[in-house]
Amino acid sequence: MSKLFVISGSSGVGKGTIINKLMTKHPELKLSVSCTTRAKRDGEQEGVNYFYLKRDEFENCVKNNEFLEWAEFSGNYYGTKKMFVETCLKLGQYLILEIDTKGALNVKRIMPEAVLIFIAPPSIEELEHRLRGRNTETEEAIQKRLASIKLEIENSKKFDYKIINDTVDNAVMKLEEIISANI
């Protein structure tokens, strides 16, 4: 039995779409809001998608031990505040964390009841295609993200579940099955 579900997947794998659909269908689930130092993308909102911090602000939170986990990813910091997770769990909410695989494994070490789910692309070529199609990043940034894929796939071997994102509906259905089997 768990109240904490951690979902990871390589960038561009479509996990944002999958998670949005899951959250719309299940208002009883709560999506954790992480902190990041990366720039806000079009349409993103402070406190909804992320809490946007300057590098020194983020580093101060690290020094003060405020993060449950944090990682540097593609040159930016990302982290989950302990306080955010503790408050949600105290309120009895089912919490979804959408973080990278390294962060997910760190969460599992601290909170072994967390259920780790990896969303994999049907193929690496397909993933590269989606990443470029998004058109939000420079070639250099895309190359960095592609380079991290291998590591993500390696880390995901230690996850509890793996979902191949063939179609969004299928992936959402599998996520629902995993969640209901573990709550």
Point out which residues bind ligand 5GP (CB under 6 A).
11, 34, 38, 69, 71, 73, 78-80, 98-100, 103
Question: Residue 68 or 172: which CB sits closer to ligand 5GP?
Answer: 68
Q: How far is the CB of 72 from ligand 5GP (least distance, A)?
A: 9
Q: How far is the CB of 102 from ligand 5GP (least distance, A)?
A: 6
Query: What span, in angstroms and rounded, lies between the C-alpha atoms of 79 and 46?
Result: 15
Question: Residue 72 or 177: which CB sits closer to ligand 5GP?
Answer: 72
Q: How far is the CB of 115 from ligand 5GP (least distance, A)?
A: 16
- Tell me the two tokens of residue 155: 């880390």
Question: Residue 3 or 84: which CB sits closer to ligand 5GP?
Answer: 84
Query: What span, in angstroms and rounded, lies between the C-alpha atoms of 22 and 34?
Result: 18
For 178, other C-beta atoms within 10 Å of its C-beta total 17
The closest of 110, 107, 141, 138 to 8, measured between CA atoms, is: 107
Q: How far is the CB of 99 from ligand 5GP (least distance, A)?
A: 4
Residues 121, 143 contacting (CB under 8 angstroms): no
Q: Which residue is nearest to ligand 5GP (CB)?
A: 103
Q: How far is the CB of 178 from ligand 5GP (least distance, A)?
A: 18
Query: What span, in angstroms and rounded, lies between the C-alpha atoms of 65 and 19?
Result: 28
Burial class (CB in 10 A: 0-12, 13-18, 19+), 180: exposed
Question: Residue 73 or 118: which CB sits closer to ligand 5GP?
Answer: 73
Q: How far is the CB of 119 from ligand 5GP (least distance, A)?
A: 10
Question: Residue 11 or 156: which CB sits closer to ligand 5GP?
Answer: 11
HSE-CB at 106 with a 13 A cutoff on CA atoms is 14
Question: Residue 96 or 100: which CB sits closer to ligand 5GP?
Answer: 100
